């Protein structure tokens, strides 16, 4: 039976504001058919785990038909499920079970590019004169045969690939097998919006929009200027990637996108309570663009920001500067923050937590993340405090890692299978003898069943904190104001509808006293941290926090 949209319900249109979204990477969540790769039936079976955490929604990374060159971010049919993941009926079952458990479902739309095996591209590349000849970004070479400009692919090399049939180059911001759709063409816009409607009719509650700021390119194909070395940063591409050497003025971030996003939003608004979060990958202008895309109430509800996905450890200053910069860039906007995802080194490893402090660090980071102003994504396995897996070169799957190995090992280390039960075969993930990526023994020792019921485990702390957060609207929808931003101490207040919640953190392994801001504060219970307050001071043991209502 199809999960169809139920017009009788009276939905909360604002459900996404401050929501906690649990990201599922379907290849690695749960395998139900023993092929060593996760699938949709596996997701359905494990949704009670997500419900037990208290997450509001899931975001499922792509499960559409795909040759899997970029593991599903290369779609060859927008309106079907890849057989590796199951059937459209299996997807309907995911929706039905999620809704039964009170969880919203967001799916990952990858419409900036398709796979080169998509029928649209097959037709487009077949000649210079066909109905879809302008559906992708084609350009003649320079007279010397080289590409039309200096644009670079994030995955390495020129962003242009040669097609000998058309005797032209086509644009690809990622793999050569991910040709960039020409969104300047209104027929392309219509076609992708049809795919959006298809999934809305099946009952999804929203979308994560892959690389939303890459939808449009400069039609004059102007060269990107060089970026001064001191302006380079590695938040969207690793430091060894020359993509960071350019100021991306022309290959992405084009103002034409704003009109398209309005069209997109109008489609969402044909259905009740649908939300979209746009992934804005840009090291220079990310927050500014997020501001543009989430302003006015007529484009995206949220943008997914990269500020906390960078290699640099999370510091009080980074948190305060980022929140302030976002408020400045996007006074009416709303961000969606994450510390980990399927593209970056898991944060307990990336930010260098020592073995001894790892669990305490993971718990504290969860509290910092879940008290940010904005919505929040947590990435499968984060709730177990999982570390980055070390994958041998011969086991590597990610083409990005193969390209930049060994300086950048790619994204496989954060994509290894979820660990459910340390005593079961493949930690309960799969009945296969070999899984698509290996499962580290250390992960297995931290499986869900190992942690479950142990009050001091990372998992139980995630559950506890998520439930604590749920009882405090200020932590969900509130404004943020900073009181203390020191080397390791961070105190801010979240306020909503006349209530303020003070949040104090010690981001260090040493005890710390911080000044208690003026006010009549009542300490809150039930968050699992050992901070206290007395005599005008907040006393915080190592890696701990304190919360109070005022």
Of all residues in the shown chain, the one whose CB is closest to ligand NOJ is 73
Helix (H) or strand (E) holding 548: strand 545-549
Question: C-beta of 303: minimal distance to ligand NOJ in Å?
Answer: 14
339 vs 547 by CB, closer to ligand NOJ: 339
Distance, in Å, from the CA atom of 343 to the CA atom of 365, rounded to the nearest integer, reads 19
Query: Does 210 interact with ligand NOJ (rule: CB under 6 A)?
Result: yes
Q: Is 210 a catalytic residue?
A: yes
Query: Does 283 interact with ligand NOJ (rule: CB under 6 A)?
Result: no
Distance, in Å, from the CA atom of 313 to the CA atom of 101, rounded to the nearest integer, reads 36
210 vs 382 by CB, closer to ligand NOJ: 210
Question: C-beta of 184: minimal distance to ligand NOJ in Å?
Answer: 20
Task: Name the phi and psi angles at 59, rounded to 5.
Answer: -115, 120
Query: Does 116 interact with ligand NOJ (rule: CB under 6 A)?
Result: no
Q: Where are the alpha helices (DSSP H) in 313-389?
A: 316-329, 347-350, 358-370
Residues 6+ apart with CB under 8 A from 89: none
Instruction: Give the interface size with ligand NOJ as a residue count (CB under 6 A).
Output: 8
Q: State how far the alpha carbon of 13 is from the alpha carbons of 206, 269, 271, 416, in Å.
A: 11, 10, 10, 35
Task: For the beta carbon of residue 34, count every other beta carbon within 10 angstroms.
Answer: 12
Distance, in Å, from the CA atom of 182 to the CA atom of 195, rounded to the nearest integer, reads 16
Q: Is 205 a catalytic residue?
A: no
Query: Does 306 interact with ligand NOJ (rule: CB under 6 A)?
Result: no
Query: Does 31 interact with ligand NOJ (rule: CB under 6 A)?
Result: no
Helix (H) or strand (E) holding 402: helix 399-404
418 vs 503 by CB, closer to ligand NOJ: 418
DSSP-derived pairing of the beta strands 168-171 and 138-139: antiparallel
Question: C-beta of 208: minimal distance to ligand NOJ in Å?
Answer: 9
Query: Does 211 interact with ligand NOJ (rule: CB under 6 A)?
Result: yes
74 vs 92 by CB, closer to ligand NOJ: 74
List the catalytic residue out of 180, 210, 282, 343. Answer: 210
Query: Does 215 interact with ligand NOJ (rule: CB under 6 A)?
Result: no
Helix (H) or strand (E) holding 480: strand 479-485
Question: C-beta of 68: minimal distance to ligand NOJ in Å?
Answer: 12
Question: C-beta of 337: minimal distance to ligand NOJ in Å?
Answer: 15
39 vs 343 by CB, closer to ligand NOJ: 343
List the catalytic residue out of 12, 270, 328, 442. Answer: 270
Question: C-beta of 400: minimal distance to ligand NOJ in Å?
Answer: 7
Query: Does 73 interact with ligand NOJ (rule: CB under 6 A)?
Result: yes
Query: Does 70 interact with ligand NOJ (rule: CB under 6 A)?
Result: yes
56 vs 343 by CB, closer to ligand NOJ: 343
> Contacting ligand NOJ (CB under 6 A), which of 251, 343, 383, 388?
343
Task: Name the phi and psi angles at 523, rounded to 5.
Answer: -60, 140
Distance, in Å, from the CA atom of 198 to the CA atom of 50, rounded to the nearest integer, reads 26
Query: Does 174 interact with ligand NOJ (rule: CB under 6 A)?
Result: yes
Nearest CA to 376 out of 297, 309, 316, 331 is that of 309
Question: C-beta of 237: minimal distance to ligand NOJ in Å?
Answer: 11
For residue 375, the SS3 value is strand
**What's the Rg (C-alpha) of the chain?**
23
Query: Does 110 interact with ligand NOJ (rule: CB under 6 A)?
Result: yes
31 vs 108 by CB, closer to ligand NOJ: 108
Distance, in Å, from the CA atom of 548 to the CA atom of 518, rounded to the nearest integer, reads 12
- Residue 300, phi-psi category: left (phi > 0), alpha (psi -120 to 50), beta (remainder): beta
Distance, in Å, from the CA atom of 58 to the CA atom of 49, rounded to the nearest integer, reads 11
Question: C-beta of 437: minimal distance to ligand NOJ in Å?
Answer: 15
DSSP-derived pairing of the beta strands 104-109 and 206-209: parallel
308 vs 505 by CB, closer to ligand NOJ: 308
> Where in the sequence numbering do the catalytic residues fall?
210, 270
The footprint of ligand NOJ (CB under 6 A) covers 70, 73, 110, 174, 210-211, 342-343
């Amino acid at each position: 039976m199809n999960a169809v949209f139920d017009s009788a319900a009276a939905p909360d249109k604002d459900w996404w504001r401050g929501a906690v979204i649990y990201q599922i990477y379907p290849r690695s969540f749960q395998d139900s058919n023993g092929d060593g790769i996760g699938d949709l039936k596996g997701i359905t079976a494990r949704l009670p785990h997500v419900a037990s955490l208290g997450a509001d929604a899931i975001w499922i990374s792509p499960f559409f038909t795909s040759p899997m060159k970029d593991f599903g971010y290369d779609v060859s049919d927008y309106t079907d499920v890849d057989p590796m993941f199951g059937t459209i009926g299996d997807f309907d079952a995911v929706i039905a079970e999620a809704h039964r458990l009170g969880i919203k479902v967001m799916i990952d739309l990858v419409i900036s590019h398709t796979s080169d095996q998509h029928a649209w591209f097959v037709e487009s590349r077949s000649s210079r004169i066909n109905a879809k000849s302008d559906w992708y970004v084609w350009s003649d070479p320079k007279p010397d045969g080289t590409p039309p400009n200096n644009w670079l692919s994030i995955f390495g090399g020129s962003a242009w690939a040669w097609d000998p049939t058309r005797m032209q180059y086509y644009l690809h911001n990622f793999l050569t097998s991910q040709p960039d759709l020409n969104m300047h063409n209104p027929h392309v816009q219509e076609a992708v919006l049809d795919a959006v409607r298809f999934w809305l009719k099946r009952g999804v509650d929203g979308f994560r929009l892959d690389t939303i700021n890459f939808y449009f390119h400069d039609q004059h194909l102007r060269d990107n200027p060089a970026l001064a070395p001191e302006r380079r940063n590695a938040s969207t591409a690793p430091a060894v990637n020359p993509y960071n050497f350019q100021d991306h003025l022309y290959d992405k971030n084009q103002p034409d996108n704003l009109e398209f996003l309005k069209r997109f939003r109008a489609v969402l608004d044909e259905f009740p309570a649908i939300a979209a979060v746009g992934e804005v990958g840009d090291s220079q202008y990310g927050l500014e663009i997020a501001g543009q895309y989430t302003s006015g109430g007529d484009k995206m509800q949220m943008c997914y920001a990269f500020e906390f996905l960078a290699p640099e450890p999370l510091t009080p200053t980074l948190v305060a500067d980022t929140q302030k910069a976002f408020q400045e860039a996007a006074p009416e906007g709303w961000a969606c923050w994450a510390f980990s995802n399927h593209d970056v080194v898991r944060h307990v490893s990336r930010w260098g937590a020592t073995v001894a402090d790892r669990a305490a660090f993971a718990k504290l980071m969860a509290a910092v993340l879940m008290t940010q102003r904005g919505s929040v994504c947590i990435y499968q396995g984060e709730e177990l405090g999982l570390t980055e897996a070390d994958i041998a070169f011969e086991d590597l799957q990610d083409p990005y890692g193969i390209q930049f190995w060994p300086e950048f090992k790619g994204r496989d280390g954060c994509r290894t299978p979820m660990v459910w039960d340390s005593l079961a075969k493949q930690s309960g993930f799969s009945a296969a003898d070999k899984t698509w990526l290996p499962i580290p023994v250390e992960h297995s020792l931290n499986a869900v069943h190992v942690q479950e019921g142990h009050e001091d485990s990372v998992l139980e702390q995630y559950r506890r904190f998520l439930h604590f957060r749920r009882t405090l609207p200020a932590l969900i929808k509130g404004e943020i104001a900073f009181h203390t931003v020191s080397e390791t101490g961070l105190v801010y207040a979240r306020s909503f509808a006349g209530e303020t919640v003070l949040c104090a953190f010690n981001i260090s392994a040493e005890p710390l006293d911080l000044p208690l801001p003026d006010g009549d504060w009542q300490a809150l219970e039930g968050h699992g941290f050992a901070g206290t307050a007395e005599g005008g001071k907040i006393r915080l043991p190592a890696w701990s926090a304190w919360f109070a209502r005022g």
